[in-house]
Every structure is written in C-alpha cells, then in structure tokens.
Amino acid sequence: MKRLPLLTFILCLAAVTAGAWDVSKKYIGPKTPTTDVSWHSDILPGYEARYVDQGEAFDGPCRSTIVRLRGPRSSSKGFLYVHGFNDYFFQSEMGRRFVDSGFHFYAVDLRRYGRSYQPWQYPFNIRNQKEYFADIDSALAQMRRDGITDITLGGHSTGGLTVCLLAAARGREAGVDRVVTDSPFLAWNFNSFYRNFLIPSVTAIGGIFKNSKIKQGHCDGYAYSLLKEYEGEWTYNTDWKMVYSPPVTFSWVRSIQNAQKEVKSKAANIAVPLLVMHSSRKIDGCNWTPEFQTGDAVLDPAMIQQVGLLIRKESRHPVSVCTVDSGLHDLILSRRDVRDAAYDSIFAFIRSHPQ
C-alpha cells in the first residue's frame, strides 16, 4: 500500500481522536426489517404512500418510501421526484402542479431520509450514490405497474446528482424518457484548494474511516428563507429537514465526489434529454438576511452551469442549461413568480422532448 500524504494522515488522526468530530451514541435496540409495504394515507393530505423493503444495508435493514398523487384523469405520463440532502418530499404544491398538467406524480423518500428513516441509521448517510438506484427503481417499477409509460425523472441538489449519475451510468438502460434537475449538486461550493486537495484527501480515506464525521456550519440563512415561522412560506418537519445540517461522514463525501467525477467522465453515455436548472446568483453568508431570498445559499450556480455546459458538449442528446432568475437553492420553493418560472421551464422542456 502506498504511504498516505502527511495531511491525509493528520485528517485520519483528527477523525479518530479530536473532540471536533461528532460521534453519535450507538443505537442498541432491535433492528427489524419493514414488513408492512401496503399503501396508506400519507402525511400530506390527498397523497398516499408505501414502504419498500430494500433489504440489508451496511447499517442494517433499510427501506425507501414511495409517495404518489394520482390524477383524476387517465394518463400515461408520470413524474418521479427525488429530494436532496437534509430533505424529504413535502412539496405538496409540486404534486398538484403536475396533476393539474395531466401527469401522475410520484416521489421517493430515499433510505435514511424522512419517512424512510429508522432509528439505528445515521441520517442521510451513504457509501455509494448508486445505492439509491434501488430506491428509484422501486418507484419506477410502481409507476409502470400503474400504467405509466412516459416517465420524467427529476431530482433536486444531491437528488439531481443522483439522477444524472443514473442516466450517465446506465445510458440507454436508464428506463426513463427524460431527466430534469433543480440545482443539481454537480460541483462542490468550495475554493480550488478544497476541491483539488482537501476533498480528494477525504475521499481517499473515506473508504477506511467511513463513519468519521465532519461538522457542518451552524447556519440558518437558507432554512429561515423557507420556513413559514421565520421568513418563508413553507411548513415541514424539522426533524427530517433540519434547520442546522448534521455532520456528514467521510463516506458521504467520498460518495458525492465519486458520483460527480463519474457524471462528467460518462456524460457522453447519457441517452435521454436532460434539463439542468440553477439560480442566477450565489448567496454568501451564514445567518439570514433579505438577500437569502434572492439566490442560492447552498451551491454555486456558476459552477452548476459550468458542469452542465460540459455535459452538453459531451452528450449526443439534448441538454438544456437554464437560469432561473433569483431562485433559491430549491427553485420550486422560491417566491411565487420565481417558482412559476421554474415550472414553466420544466413543462416546456418536457413538451419539447416528447416520448
């Protein structure tokens, strides 16, 4: 084995010994597989949901959750939504928009997120982004059983990265007709030193120190821009979508880094039309100011655009890169006129690329 660079060794040592690393108490209760996979009324009025037993993962039994809102009219068109990091599906308005436009709407709460979370799991943890493919595949299979033959796959932030990865890794076997992304996590929002040295160092040792954790900033600007009790217009479960992001594991960093690299290296393999949407501006800072409601406070839209244009250059299929003026990180949670523009872009893209 090659010797680790000095900084990598220091990071390893810090991960094991320093008080700055958050090590949660270990769960000591039973780990029981999910057996009830029948449809039930969802927490969102009018929606229904069911669990999918995804078998044994590295931390025990795991499950995903399919959420659906069926339209009143017969339709072969469906949209499947994949949420981002520190997130779950709660955007009931989104489902209604698609149903009103003639689609059946589906969403998936990925393993260790939201409805799918189980007490022995570290929230949002992952070791390989492709583990989520099984969660997405289960929802796609359900859509096909429900008679849907024209499928648009959508994803926000890390979900956007995941759906791009699925399209790049599977090519003609992606199983969907087009892909839509909302501020996809295609690049780290860090300076070049972090992107080119520190992140690769953590990635290198993430295969060894998988559960070592990196604390996130204690920032509330983005959450306050969303939540109705502060400055936003949305209500959601802050145990599932936390105001302050929990620490991320080294394996999570490794998974994101590897997925971003594979999307870029296999861009030519994408065999369906792709939409990459992003905000018009980046917002810096930590604590809320009115500026937080005018741009992306999580990722850098310029970097998303740069990777989106690279994918467009490499791909032999249509790739649209779209700027939504003054959009929040989650474009569909922006103020009314901005999210209307985002929805217009999505539906125009779908119409432009029929099955």
pLDDT tens by residue, 228-269: 999 999 999 999 999 999 999 999 999 999 999 999 999 999
200 close to 257: Cβ distance less than 8 angstroms: yes
**Cα 355 to the center of its chain, rounded Å:** 25
Cα gap 36→279, rounded to integer Å: 40
In sequence order, what are the residues at sequence separation of 6 or more whose Cβ sits closer than 8 angstroms to the Cβ of residue 65? 49, 50, 51, 52, 108, 109, 114, 115, 116
194 close to 303: Cβ distance less than 8 angstroms: no
The residues pairing with 213 across neighbouring beta strands, listed in sequence order, are 249
**Cα 310 to the center of its chain, rounded Å:** 21
Q: What is the pLDDT of residue 325?
A: 98
Cα gap 231→222, rounded to integer Å: 10
169 close to 263: Cβ distance less than 8 angstroms: no
At residue 206 the predicted structure's pLDDT band, cuts being 50, 70 and 90, is confident
Q: What is the pLDDT of residue 318?
A: 96
Instruction: Label the pairing between strands 77-82 and 150-156.
Output: parallel
Q: Among residues of the chain, what percentage have pLDDT more than 90?
A: 82
Cα gap 215→76, rounded to integer Å: 45
In sequence order, what are the residues at sequence separation of 6 or more whose Cβ sits closer than 8 angstroms to the Cβ of residue 306? 187
200-224: burial string, b at 16+ Cβ within 10 Å, e else: ebbbbbbeebebbbbeeeebbbbbb
Q: What is the pLDDT of residue 5?
A: 45
Tokens of 246: 């929990």
At residue 65 the predicted structure's pLDDT band, cuts being 50, 70 and 90, is very high
* Average of per-residue pLDDT across 49-58: 97
Tell me the whole-structure pTM to 2 decimals.
0.93
Tokens of 24: 């949660």
Cα gap 99→107, rounded to integer Å: 13
Q: What is the pLDDT of residue 25?
A: 67
Tokens of 15: 């991960």
pLDDT tens by residue, 149-165: 999 999 999 999 999 99
At residue 16 the predicted structure's pLDDT band, cuts being 50, 70 and 90, is very low
* Average of per-residue pLDDT across 14-33: 61
Cα gap 250→200, rounded to integer Å: 11
60 close to 117: Cβ distance less than 8 angstroms: no
Residue 12 predicted with pLDDT over 80: no
What is the DSSP annotation of 265-308?
Answer: HTGGG--S-EEEEEES-B---SS--GGGGGSBSSS-HHHHHHHH
Domains of the chain: 32-352 (3.40.50.1820)
- Of 193 and 186, the structure prediction assigns the larger pLDDT to 186
User: Which amino acid does the sequence have at 204?
Assistant: A
Q: What is the pLDDT of residue 11?
A: 46
